[in-house]
Amino acid sequence: MQFWEWIKQPWPWYVAGPLIGLVVPLLLIMGNKTFGVSSSLRHICAACIPANIPFFKYNWRKETWNLFFVTGIILGAIIATNWLNNGAPIAVDPKLVNDLKQYNIHNYSSIVPVDLFNWPSLLTVRGFLLMVVGGFLVGFGTRYAGGCTSGHAIMGLSNLQWPSLVATCCFMIGGFITANLILPVILHL
């Protein structure tokens, strides 16, 4: 079936991008919810480890919709990976393939670079920095900035909020510096 074959390929940006943008009105119309994922991390803290910190003392039960939303993300990913996938390796720019060769990254079979993100490498300096320190920065930075790519870059910009534009520019600056100057050092470890 032609259609099914097409669905199983990676989707081009001009298909996926507008569909991602439609999540904004979808959540607003479903029940006045503003699109954003990083706040789910805060709700998890508030629900599990509030530790009397004022920042986590609020009625998180009112925000459970966000936890349903992120559970949905996991389920959607399971569906897409198992049933909407043609099993082809991820096609990346030849320049990147060439750059990554020097760090012993050869496996493009999965959307996650298996050479970097795996359980045994957690115990290496490189893996620890990428996964544990990187993850910490994601959680700390998004909350400090008051949002992530979905909350600021997509939702905030959709509502033409200039603080979100500032945040989005800072995400990009932080990413450019890290990917080009710091990451090569970490990958060499």
Alpha-carbon span 109 to 103, nearest angstrom: 17
* CB of 12 vs another protein, minimal distance in Å: 8
Sites for another protein among residues 24-43 (CB under 8 A): 24-42
Residue of the chain from 1, 74, 123, 185 that contacts another protein (CB under 8 A): 74
With CB under 8 A, what is the number of residues at the site for another protein?
135
Asked if 47 is part of the footprint of another protein (rule: CB under 8 A), the reply reads: no
Closest of 148, 176, 180, 179 to residue 164, by C-alpha = 148
Asked if 64 is part of the footprint of another protein (rule: CB under 8 A), the reply reads: yes
Asked if 161 is part of the footprint of another protein (rule: CB under 8 A), the reply reads: yes
Distance of alpha carbon 160 from the chain centroid = 22
**Contact map string, positions 83 to 112, toward another protein, x by CB under 8 A:** -xx----x-xx-xx--xx-------x-xxx
Residue of the chain from 49, 123, 185, 188 that contacts another protein (CB under 8 A): 49
Asked if 57 is part of the footprint of another protein (rule: CB under 8 A), the reply reads: yes
Asked if 179 is part of the footprint of another protein (rule: CB under 8 A), the reply reads: yes
Q: Are 158 and 149 in contact (CB under 8 A)?
A: no
DSSP string, 79-127: HHHHHS---PPP---HHHHHHHHTTT----SSSS-TTTSSTGGGGSHHH
Asked if 132 is part of the footprint of another protein (rule: CB under 8 A), the reply reads: yes
- Tokens for 57, please give them: 């003392």
Q: Are 150 and 36 in contact (CB under 8 A)?
A: yes
Q: Are 119 and 113 in contact (CB under 8 A)?
A: no
* CB of 95 vs another protein, minimal distance in Å: 5
Residue of the chain from 4, 180, 185, 188 that contacts another protein (CB under 8 A): 180
